[in-house]
Amino acid sequence: GESVGLHLPTLSVQEGDNSIINCAYSNSASDYFIWYKQESGKGPQFIIDIRSNMDKRQGQRVTVLLNKTVKHLSLQIAATQPGDSAVYFCAENMNRDDKIIFGKGTRLHILP
Amino acid sequence: DAGVIQSPRHEVTEMGQEVTLRCKPISGHDYLFWYRQTMMRGLELLIYFNNNVPIDDSGMPEDRFSAKMPNASFSTLKIQPSEPRDSAVYFCASSLGTSGTDTQYFGPGTRLTVL
């Protein structure tokens, strides 16, 4: 697979359990946040996004929570499956800028 | 749509050689981004284009790196001469509009190894 980081924080979760991946973002002026999933050998793939005027957004099996007070973002995955094993990145965008800034990533490992 | 297409998928070269990475964005997308991913630095933005025009190349590490987008369906990232520290996975991504409103779609990446 691709080298996405041997030194990434790793979260191990039993299959079927819920998982929570956390991210601290850096810029208080950021107003748009995105979670990406990167499987081995592939490019990052969009999962879900949230704007700063919201504190929660739900998708299919995923929920993103935003706490602007402490500049914290989390991704909750319900009933984890083997296919959820990947590296998850949070990314932030400021004032509808053209670009986004990626965090370092968290590796999610699903235990059988 | 086939998504973002990158070639080659793997490239092994020797130090000092020229390397050219290629990208075909999703048709109709106005933005194209080049990223580099390494263990040490994670995912870094190198340069991006809007309507084939380079907008921000502040992430390009050195003059050895250059990128072009001659038309809306093709972009290249060139490294000349290449060095071992350039070894990384290089991703191309495209989006319909600005990243503040539209999703970036990534290609599968090119794994570059410079010996």
B39 falls in which pLDDT band (50, 70, 90)? Answer: confident
Q: Which residues of B45-82 are buried (b: 16+ CB within 10 A; e: fewer)?
A: bbbbbbeeebebeebbeeeebebebeebbebebebeeb
In sign, the C-alpha dihedral spanning A74, A79, A84, A86 is positive
The pLDDT value recorded for residue B23 is 98
Residues from chain A contacting residue B31 (CB–CB below 8 Å): 98
What is the rounded CA–CA span in Å between residue A43 and residue B50?
21
Specify the 3-state DSSP secondary structure of A83: helix
Q: Does residue B2 carry a pLDDT above 50? A: yes
Q: What confidence tens digit (pLDDT) does each residue in A46-68 have?
A: 999 999 999 999 999 999 999 99
Q: Per the CB < 8 Å rule, is A2 touching B100?
A: no
Q: What confidence tens digit (pLDDT) does each residue in A74-84 have?
A: 999 999 999 99
Q: Does residue A2 carry a pLDDT above 60? A: no
In sign, the C-alpha dihedral spanning A44, B60, A31, A103 is positive
Q: Does residue B75 carry a pLDDT above 70? A: yes
Mean pLDDT of A22-37: 91
Q: What confidence tens digit (pLDDT) does each residue in B46-57 have?
A: 999 999 999 999
The pLDDT value recorded for residue A7 is 64
Mean pLDDT of chain A: 90
The pLDDT value recorded for residue B49 is 96
Which residues neighbour B54 within 8 Å (Cβ) at sequence distance 6 or greater?
B47, B48, B67, B69
CA of A27 to nearest chain B CA: how many angstroms apart? 15
The pLDDT value recorded for residue A28 is 86
Q: Does residue B105 carry a pLDDT above 50? A: yes
Is the Cβ–Cβ distance between A16 and A80 less than 8 Å?
A: yes
Say if residue B81 is preceded by a cis peptide, omega within 30 of 0.
yes
What is the rounded CA–CA span in Å between residue B42 and residue A106?
11
- Residue in chain A lying closest to B36 (CA): A4
Q: Does residue B85 carry a pLDDT above 60? A: yes
Give me the percent of chain A exceeding a pLDDT of 90: 75
The pLDDT value recorded for residue A3 is 33
Q: Does residue A27 carry a pLDDT above 90? A: no
Q: What confidence tens digit (pLDDT) does each residue in A8-18 have?
A: 899 999 999 99
For chain B positions 55-114, those within 8 Å of chain A (CB to CB) are 55-56, 88-89, 91, 93, 98-101, 103-109, 111
Mean pLDDT of B15-39: 96
Closest partner CB to B106 (pick from A43, A93, A104): A43
